[in-house]
């Protein structure tokens, strides 16, 4: 058996990536469903972020096993995002725009990696410290403590707002099926899920970004909010139950779109030829 077979390596990476998209989708389905139940006043929902959704999953039958599976999938997604950003697996290039997209993917890998750790901690019975807002406030406080901290937080906030605007544009006018090989019979469903999902994420990102800009202006990390805080802010607006319901349904749709991505996304897994890497190291050593 050839342990260094590049084709086998690519196959494993692709499998990990697909499992990762499905796991991220499961988290969004949970977040959106719980928020939607809260919006309609069912008494069963909860307006929270990813960590709240994971805790809700733990309370279900076989919850620990389900949580472990989601956590492992999020590990795979995190690794895929980091690998694809470093190797440019999606061919974004080295233009300023391409590097920006790759940087966002790398950040997504870090964020989902942290969520994966929380999921696995819960599954193993170690509990969870804090929620999404606590995490956002912690790193905002750290950033504020750095030189030019307020400017840094403000820049991040504006970047998140910009990401929200881009997601809104993608939801309404963009090609949400790019890099997807969806069968013709499923394209309308996939398109509807993608548009609703990206639009909802755009709203949430915009709210999170505004909170970060506010934190920068006031030099107060407690102003920063995560996904859960953004959803609660929507709920507090006039007709907030309707606004929250629409966004929550969109987030659930984005979760379902994650399953679409898991099934039909074109994944150009990088060729990690270990033998070639070893030979290269050996040649350098001889020099």
* Measured distance CA(262)–CA(16) in Å, rounded: 10
User: What pLDDT is stored for residue 279 in this prediction?
Assistant: 47
pTM, 2 dp: 0.86
pLDDT by residue for the chain (287 residues), tens digit each? 333 345 555 678 888 899 999 999 999 999 999 999 888 875 556 677 787 788 888 888 888 899 999 999 999 999 999 999 998 888 889 999 899 889 999 999 998 998 899 899 888 887 666 677 888 999 999 999 999 999 999 999 999 999 999 999 999 999 999 999 999 999 999 999 999 999 999 999 999 999 999 999 999 999 999 998 999 999 999 999 999 999 999 999 999 999 999 999 988 777 654 444 334 434 544 54
64 and 58 Cβ atoms separated by less than 8 Å: yes
User: What pLDDT is stored for residue 185 in this prediction?
Assistant: 95
77 and 21 Cβ atoms separated by less than 8 Å: yes
* Measured distance CA(13)–CA(270) in Å, rounded: 8
User: What pLDDT is stored for residue 134 in this prediction?
Assistant: 85
- The pLDDT tens digits of the residues spanning 216-264 come to 999 999 999 999 899 999 999 999 999 999 999 999 999 999 999 999 9
Secondary structure string (H, E, C) spanning the chain = CCCCCHHHHHHHHHHHHHHHHHHHHHHHHHHHHHHHHHHCCCCCCCCCCHHHHHHHHHCCCCHHHHHHHHHHHHHHHHHHHHHHHHHCCCCCCCCHHHHHHHHHHHHHHHHHHHHHHHHHHHHCCCCCCCCHHHHHHHHHHHHHCCCCHHHHHHHHHHHHHHHHHHHHHHHHCCCCCCCECCCHHHHHHHHHHHHHHHHHHHHHHHHHHHHHHHHHHHCCHHHCCCHHHHHHHHHCCCCHHHHHHHHHHHHHHHHHHHHHHHHHECCCCCCCCHHHHHHHHHHHHHC
User: What pLDDT is stored for residue 62 in this prediction?
Assistant: 84
Inter-axis angle of helices 227-235 and 132-144, nearest 10: 110
User: What pLDDT is stored for residue 8 in this prediction?
Assistant: 57
Q: Using CB atoms within 10 A of its CB, is residue 247 exposed (0-12), middle (13-18) or buried (19+)?
A: buried
User: What pLDDT is stored for residue 255 in this prediction?
Assistant: 96
């Amino acid at each position: 058996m050839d342990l260094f077979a590049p084709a086998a390596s690519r196959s494993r990476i692709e499998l990990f990536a697909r499992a990762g998209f499905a796991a991220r989708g499961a988290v969004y389905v949970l977040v959106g469903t719980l928020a939607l139940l809260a919006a309609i006043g069912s008494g069963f929902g909860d307006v929270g972020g990813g960590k709240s959704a994971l805790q809700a999953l733990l309370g279900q039958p076989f919850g620990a096993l389900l949580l472990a599976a989601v956590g492992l999938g999020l590990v795979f997604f995190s690794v895929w995002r980091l690998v694809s950003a470093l190797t440019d697996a999606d061919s974004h290039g080295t233009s300023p725009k391409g590097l920006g997209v790759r940087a966002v993917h790398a950040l997504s890998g870090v964020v989902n990696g942290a969520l994966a750790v929380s999921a696995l901690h819960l599954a193993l019975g170690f509990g969870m410290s804090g929620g999404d807002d606590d995490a956002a406030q912690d790193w905002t406080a750290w950033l504020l403590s750095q030189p030019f901290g307020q400017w840094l937080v403000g820049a991040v906030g504006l970047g998140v707002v910009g990401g929200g605007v881009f997601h809104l544009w993608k939801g309404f006018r963009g090609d949400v099926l790019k890099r997807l090989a969806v069968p013709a019979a499923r394209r309308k469903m996939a398109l509807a899920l993608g548009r609703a999902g990206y639009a909802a994420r755009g709203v949430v990102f915009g709210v999170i970004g505004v909170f970060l800009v506010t934190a920068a202006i006031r030099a107060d990390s407690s102003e920063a909010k995560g996904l859960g805080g953004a959803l609660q802010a929507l709920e507090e607006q006039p007709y907030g139950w309707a606004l929250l319901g629409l966004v929550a349904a969109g987030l659930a749709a984005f979760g379902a779109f994650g399953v679409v991505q898991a099934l039909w996304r074109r994944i150009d897994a990088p060729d990690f030829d270990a033998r070639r890497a070893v030979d290269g190291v050996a040649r350098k050593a001889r020099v």
